[in-house]
Amino acid sequence: MPNDTPLLSIEQLSKSFGKLRAVDGISFAIKRGSCVGLLGPNGAGKTTTVEMLEGIKQPGSGTILYKGKPLDADFRQEAGIMFQSTALPDFITAYETLKMFRDLYPRSIPIEQLVQACSLQEFLDRDAKRLSGGQRQRLLLAIALINDPEIVFLDEPTTGLDPQARRNFWKLIREIGGRGKTVVLTTHYMEEAYELCDEILIMDHGKIIAEGTPDSLLAKHFNDVVVQLPAVDLPEDFDSKGMEVLRANGSVEILTSDVNAAIEALMASHVSLKNLKVRQRTLEDLFLELTGKELRDES
Amino acid sequence: MSPKRLLAVFIARNKEFLRDRSALAWNILFPVLIVGGFAIAFSGESMDVYKVALYQDNGNEQAAGQEFLKTDYIQFIETDDLARAITNVERHQVDMLLDRNTQHYWVNTTSPKGYMLERVLKGTIGNAFTRQEVTGGEIRYVDWLLPGVIGMNMMFSALFGVGYVLVRYRKNGVLKRLKATPLSAVEFLTAQVASRMLLIMSVVVVVYFGTDFFVDFAMFGSYFNLFLIFALGAISLVSLGLLIASRTASEEFAGGILNVVSWPMMFLSGVWFSLEGTATWVQKLALIFPLTHVTSAARAIMIDGASLAQLSGHITALLAMTVAFLLLGAISFKWE
């Protein structure tokens, strides 16, 4: 369970690149033992924010306090980092890579323990450049954990993984959280954020536009559900009785707080209910609502 | 500085290089092929004209032996340094030394060309000149070339092996990942220098003794001194590689700069030909290159048996360059 004392306190953090204000005066706190998700479209400023929290980039202005102190050598010892894209030295096996990183820290946990925790057994003696996407991410996670960190930064750790590998990776992240570690996660996957995070920060244009637990955010912004059906099943002259109807990618979504009323309206128009689905609002919907963009938009 | 961290990066870098078979093979094969090629190419009879050094001759047409100077196919070279000229006869770099003022001549008793020139001299002017004998083995072009080839290989290995790798590490995020650990820039750079030094000096030893086994190079100096000069040269070139790669993440840009630095060094540092006959400004320009000092000092040890004291100028230059490159490289170094 998260402890209420903030492990990281961020006040009025800003960073500009030339005329571009990538991060614009954001403030928030990260509790000990919590898993915090940082969400935002590309260019929202989340990677810049995370890199400032990791001590990789210097803030333009504002303060970052770790255990009440500015980031220092202790922080480097106590932080584990998994970058979005990291190459590893060529011609070095997974085991040797772990050994090298272990020796860079004054304190570390036994490699064998990490091998078990991150399921590295099958490729320990394989050159890092010959690993599959999932194996590679597991190795990078093991490197991030090798110094037994108090806080772990995971920047889009499951991007490019197949659904099964992604779910396996979630299990590992839950286990890290289960050991009382604080996790800061950036991700493009709403489902991932919903599954793993205690708290979510949504960023756009360098600012935090929403924050809270996933459920509280959804409850705060939505009081309706989505009735979905194929676009071909819905006549053009369908009378929606004032409900909002969205058409996209061959399907129709009716947004309503009264499912019965929606179904009655459909039946009145003799619409087939064979392929009808009803779903709760998701973080993806919230994201669209707040930013007007798909989370994975390239713009 | 933590020896444990330094050693961790040093060991990883060594393994990385040793397992990169193509790079390792190239580092050893390249100089061996060049030395071997020149040894074969220059193993036959030389087509050069005969060379006679004239000591303080000043083109005096009244001096004795004027008839001899009219002989075709002999290149006459004026000199004011008698000791140097005698050494050149000993090393077969000139075939005869003639002093028309005192009417003496020097020939090497082991030189066929010297023998032929002596016959021509006597046939032209009789026994008017007194014979002085010297002995000594021939300094072949390949003997002269070897320090240059080793230096050049060292240069490519240092500049591209350190510079290019560092830029690639920066571009693909390896450096960024290391920055997130307690490893300091000084520890990282020291490990890179140490690893490349170990590699370069191992290759120098393998290439030298490997080719010496077949070519039997002339060596009049101390092996320890030669090793020291190559080590100084290697560290200065590695430092230059670090400086070039201290900031950029563009392999194209770094490649361009490395080429701009390495190509003039290859041609103006006296690797392939002596700079003695070039314009003064070229000789002065060449002194800014570490490779010039390595090549000249190594050659002086091998061919002239020079001591470290005699090479103090080159040693000072190499040390000064190393300190300057390392300081500038460390100050301007960027992980990202």
Decide: residue B82, CB within 10 A, 0-12 exposed, 13-18 middle, 19+ buried. middle
How far is residue A260's CA from residue A266's CA, in Å, rounded to a whole number? 10
Q: Give pLDDT, residue A74.
A: 84
Mutation site, A91, A107, A108, interface B, largest B CB count within 10 A: A91
Alpha helices (runs of H) in A40-132, residue ranges in sequence order: 46-53, 73-78, 94-103, 111-117
User: Does residue B165 sit at the A interface (CB-CB below 8 Å)?
Assistant: no
Q: Give pLDDT, residue B184.
A: 86
pLDDT (tens digit, 9 = 90+) per residue, B90-123? 878 788 999 988 889 999 988 888 899 999 999 8
Per-domain boundaries in chain A: 6-219, 223-280
User: Cα-flanking dihedrals φ and ψ of residue B98, to 5°?
Assistant: -125, 130
ipTM exceeds 0.90, yes or no: no
Test A92 with B9 for CB contact under 8 angstroms. Answer: no
CATH, domain range B50-134: 3.40.190
- Per the model's pLDDT, the better-predicted residue between B169 and B230 turns out to be B230
**B6 closest CA partner among B128, B238, B181, B227:** B181
Out of A221-230, B16-25, B221-230, pick the least confident: B16-25
User: Does residue B100 sit at the A interface (CB-CB below 8 Å)?
Assistant: no
Per DSSP, what are the bridge partners of residue B133?
A: B107
Question: Where in chain B is CATH 3.40.190?
Answer: 50-134
CATH 3.90.930 for the A223-280 domain, yes or no: no
pLDDT (tens digit, 9 = 90+) per residue, B265-309? 888 888 887 776 677 888 888 899 999 999 999 999 998 888 999
Split at pLDDT 50, 70, 90, the class of A4 is: low
Q: In what order do the strands lie in the sheet with A277-279?
A: A244-248, A251-256, A225-230, A277-279
Return all residues near B234 (Cβ < 8 A) that are at least 6 apart: B154, B158, B196, B197, B200, B201, B204
Q: Which chain A residues touch B174 with a CB distance below 8 Å?
A: 86-89
- CB B244 within 8 Å of CB B305: no
The CATH label, of 3.40.630.30, 3.50.50.60, 3.30.70.260, 3.40.50.300, for the domain at A6-219 is: 3.40.50.300
A296 pLDDT exceeds 50?
A: no
pTM: predicted TM-score of the whole model, two decimal places:
0.73
- CB A76 within 8 Å of CB B180: yes
Chain A, nearest residue to B181 by Cα: A76
- CB B67 within 8 Å of CB B246: no
